[in-house]
A and B are shown apart, each in its own frame.
Chain A
Amino acid sequence: MESNKVEQLLEAYFEGATTLAQEKQLRTYFTSDLVAPHLESYRDLFTAFAIASQDTYDIPIHLPKQKKPMLRWISGVAAVVILAIGIATQIDSEPDNFNTGEYVGNVPEEVGVLKTKQALGLMGKMFSESTAQLGAVNEFNTTTSNFFKQ
């Protein structure tokens, strides 16, 4: 490219009036070895653009694992179990007051064993009651699938 044409293009370039194709011409010219001496100072500019456009992002993209339906099911069960434990301990603490009378005269260890048995029995009952309700948990999956269409 003749240097007067380059000068014209440069003038338009600084006015923001060049097209992308003309800018490409400028870039090609200034990254070649044939730059006219009086235009030498623009070489760095276009070289800088050319180098900058070669930068790449090579780091593998980390995406969070997609939640599987199994996980939702397990969290549902966990919630029920925690609820059951909560209710069981609540109920367990109530009879504490009037039951104390029965154990008067008993050895403290025996009282302890009896109380533990009682508590475990209650918890077991609650568990079997609550697991019977687990079928309802599946309902969560069917309703959410209406919202999250992927």
Chain B
Amino acid sequence: MDQTTFIDLVNPFKDKIYRVAKRLLISEDEAQDATQEILLRLWTRRSKMKQYRSVEAFAMTMTKNYCYDSLKAKRNNNLRIVHNNYEDHSRNTGRQIEASNEVEWVYKLMKNLPEQQQLILQLRDVEQFDNSEIAAMLEMNETAVRVALSRARKTIREALIKKQNYGIQ
């Protein structure tokens, strides 16, 4: 497989990789690095690609694994930073300004969900994969996907209703 064939193959879903990475990883820079890295890993495995039922689904599984690993690494780093880092306040105010926008606020609600629910909500409601595809990508069963999806949506609904009531009272 040469480079042009490969790029034609990944073009239809490279945006999805990026969006899923962005949902999980917060910053756009990180998501861009993740996308580049995942495409590179796919490239090195191009000779085996025919074995996979769907390259897109395989890419999504890779994205999930990459993001989980990178979040885990970040959590470990944060533990160390807690003791000697006092400059984080500026970043917090930055985030609050972003969240004042209503749509940004929904993204913030999504960010507060457990990682797996974030991922499932993104794959279903943004990327519009069906539950069986998501189950294959995340190596779970379909019922578990449905339950997690429903939980994620309900958590967000509660927050939306709370906000609405707050505005009225």
Contact = CB atoms under 8 A, between A and B. Distances in A.
A52 to B, nearest CB: 5
A44 interface: yes
A53 B127 contact: yes
B105 A44 contact: yes
Interface in A86-133: none
Given A41-B160, A57-B35, A64-B40, 8 more contacts: A14-B153, A16-B147, A41-B164, A45-B106, A52-B23, A59-B35, A63-B40, A148-B47
A55 interface: yes
A14 B157 contact: yes
B128 A20 contact: yes
Contact of A57 (B17, B43, B157, B160): B17
Say which size band chain A's interface belongs to. 20 to 34
A149 B18 contact: no
Q: Which 9 A-B pairs have the closest CB atoms?
A: A16-B150, A57-B18, A48-B106, A41-B164, A16-B146, A16-B149, A44-B102, A48-B103, A52-B126
Nearest to A24: B128
A66 B2 contact: yes
Given A53-B127, A57-B35, A47 B19 contact: no
Interface of A: 13-16, 20, 23-24, 40-42, 44-45, 47-49, 51-53, 55-57, 59, 61-64, 66, 148-150
Given A56-B18, A57-B35, A61-B7, A44 B128 contact: no
B156 A45 contact: yes
Contacts of B107: 48, 52
Given A48-B103, A150-B47, A55 B15 contact: yes
A59 B2 CA distance: 19
30 contacts: A13-B153, A16-B147, A16-B149, A23-B125, A24-B128, A40-B164, A41-B163, A41-B164, A42-B157, A44-B102, A44-B103, A44-B105, A45-B106, A45-B156, A45-B157, A45-B160, A47-B106, A48-B106, A48-B107, A49-B126, A52-B19, A52-B126, A53-B19, A59-B32, A59-B35, A61-B7, A61-B10, A61-B39, A64-B40, A149-B47
